[in-house]
Chains A and B, each alone.
Chain A
């Protein structure tokens, strides 16, 4: 079963604008990760944030984590056409990593040139 939900399910913006995606989850976590998937192929790891961290940056990406609300957000600044993809959040439970990653349903991002 899916751990949580990404919001929105789909997002279309103009190139150069910022894109924000949200993720909610249900159980306590050790870490939360964001992945990108192009055209139904393999997933690419973007960023990992641990449960004791509140914000993390990587290039044009900014991730926040609020464990009290069980939510995370991914901000992509100055979007480019190449950012068009599906974005998934995935959690690792606090009980250990043998349960693999638990993914949401994803946000489909379209960047209009």
Chain B
């Protein structure tokens, strides 16, 4: 158990809708990252929040946005859902010191299906 939880575990949405996924980080960690994992692929980095501000972003459009709260929780919001957004969404928390990413602790993921 990593101490990182995500909700919901599964979600079905229709193309064009909006979705919010939630994550509770491990206590004491100052960084949360979100990843998208398509079937049969490795996770792809969406963005990272450090002390409640986005400080890194992968190759994802602005309709992917997030928030990090002082209580170690965070959200991933996706607007105008597309069929290709169907994937497993993983959040990971970590402690960054000295500017370099070390071990990340992953939650179990939310599986999103867009119809």
Query: Which A residues fall within an 8 A CB radius of B?
Result: 1-2, 30-31, 33, 35, 40-45, 48, 88, 90, 92, 96-106
19 contacts between A and B (CB under 8 A): A1-B44, A1-B59, A2-B42, A30-B100, A40-B39, A40-B111, A42-B107, A42-B109, A43-B106, A44-B106, A45-B105, A97-B100, A97-B101, A97-B102, A99-B45, A99-B58, A101-B33, A104-B42, A106-B42
Of chain B, the residue at the smallest CB distance from A103 is B42
The 4 closest A-B CB pairs, nearest first, are A97-B101, A98-B56, A103-B42, A100-B45
The smallest beta-carbon distance between A21 and chain B, in angstroms, is 13
Contact A100 B103 (CB under 8 A): no
Residues of A with C-beta under 8 A to B48: 97-100
Number of A-B contacts (CB under 8 A): 88
Contact A41 B102 (CB under 8 A): no
Contact B103 A45 (CB under 8 A): yes
The smallest beta-carbon distance between B30 and chain A, in angstroms, is 12
Residue B41 interfacial (CB < 8 Å): yes
With A2-B42, A42-B109, A105-B42 known to touch, is A48 a contact of B102 (CB < 8 Å)?
yes
Residues of B with C-beta under 8 A to A48: 102-103
The smallest beta-carbon distance between B108 and chain A, in angstroms, is 4
A41 and B35 CA atoms in complex are apart in Å by 13
Contact B42 A88 (CB under 8 A): yes
Residue B99 interfacial (CB < 8 Å): yes
With A42-B90, A98-B56 known to touch, is A103 a contact of B43 (CB < 8 Å)?
yes
- Within B25-44, the residues touching A (CB, 8 Å) are 33, 35, 37, 39-44
Name the contact of B100 in the complex, choosing from A31, A42, A44 (C-beta under 8 A): A31
